[in-house]
Amino acid sequence: MHSLDTLVAARERQRETFRRMTPEQRLAVAAEMSDEIRAVAEAGIRHRHPDYSDDEVRAALVAILLR
């Protein structure tokens, strides 16, 4: 179990890190995180549906995103 003060301290450190970044750096981090989440979602779809083609995986991802 995590202690609440540790979580709060970690969250504040993360905020400070983002505050020191330029807008361009924050945008780059956001784009990278978005790509990583998309890859994880696609991997989950492939795991649940190993028979899906690449097009079917993309269609399933779009369906999830549009919910």
The label of the residue with tokens 């970044």 reads: 21
Residue 63: phi, psi to the nearest 5?
-60, -40
pLDDT at 2: 64
Q: pLDDT grade, residue 5 (50/70/90)? A: confident
Number of residues in the chain: 67
CB neighbourhood size of 45 (10 A): 19
pTM, rounded to two decimals? 0.74
The label of the residue with tokens 């369906």 reads: 63
Q: Which of 7-11, 20-24, 36-40 has the lowest mean pLDDT?
A: 7-11
- Copy the structure tokens of residue 4: 């609440």
